[in-house]
Structure 1
């Protein structure tokens, strides 16, 4: 804690958050064998766009540009899949058939697989990009990002069909590393039914309360009218919050999109909106800080 650090002059080691996310993705990608054929089509089409002049011209005529996938950067490959999915399937298949590449055409199964793949990994990619920005201290993003990723994966698990192994692997790896942080937020780590083994190198380290408070020390966080992080804290620590419109959920006070969508609204009135859940838990310092930040 902060007090222990000050009193004992301890050195607190902060791991690289982006690297930890990459380790989670690496664990997940070990479970993509069943969807590999669809991903191989994407890779082949992207390569073709840079090696076949006729194909490149066809894409240019419909104003489509496909990025090169950088093997060492998994998030660039996610971007490539996203870009290909934007291209109208019928148009893309027609071009491939004309150029005698019918075997690369997408069918409905391919589209379902690729959309699920992007759904599971896109937020992880966005978090990685965000934490690598020079103008933002990554420690302030750890707790909000972890909660957002966990929530998205948990919800996606109930709505996917072909990528369940990938989803379970990502959840298991996330819990093994950030379970300590989620415990601090009173999250039920067994609610997803995914088995995991705590990785002591990360689990206990991220359990430190410093990760709960640093988001509120970042001036950027005070600009948000509503974020999933504060909402989850409020919900878990015994406060009911009212839902707001999707527009309020996805925009900051400066009008820029938030990193994630959804969540509960901020506390508008500390007198009328703070109510106990009946569980007998006492509203602690975290709640007080959250209410203070949203009221000032």
Structure 2
């Protein structure tokens, strides 16, 4: 049975944009679409809560309205796909992470019903950091390019290579009928920069560029063979990764980055570059974990 795309919904404008994006994506993939509304809010007519209990209140029937409206929207958007919706009394983060074991990808909006002014909502950020499948964050205000369409793939150094992200980017580009732009940025250490300033031959640049070419050849060998007609262009520059990727994303349909999950780790698991992309990228962002990721205990 084909795994569905799972969309986290909460009735917000951002979540509805995520529904639209996921409905289009499901049509491209010819796969099912599952809408998941998770909430720990209690209905008004529930039993009286004990003194001191912290319970959030919301009018009865809200869950059904949110789920039904999102389901109707998805069916109208992509009539030929199978759409289902579910509701559960659970924290949205835990519900979506649990669903990621049985999903082709998780799709979420960038903020949801969060605090105004927050760049990225806590639910979206936490799910992107911990899910077991690709997480696609539909960025508010993201505009797909028309004339020159590319899926941008951000790759770090050889030690951070995540082949699942490479495969995902090529698959997405093939679905869209566009090319893949592979972006790699590198920087020199202080000693290397000092050597160049001293007037010696710039061997460090040649070394870094040659090394980048070799591991890019290795990383892209299998997907380019699988998609021989797919346009591929490489951008290898001496710079910090964040500004380079943000610039590339300004003309992208989709930005794909890899994430190496750490088992039983506390704190930020996305890395500084991925964290910045989720907060500031001007297009939809897909965070793809390594395929050997396992649940943390």
TM-score (norm 2): 0.30
Larger RCO of the pair (alpha carbons < 8 Å, separation 6+): 2
TM-score between the two structures when normalised by the length of structure 1: 0.30
Higher strand share: 2
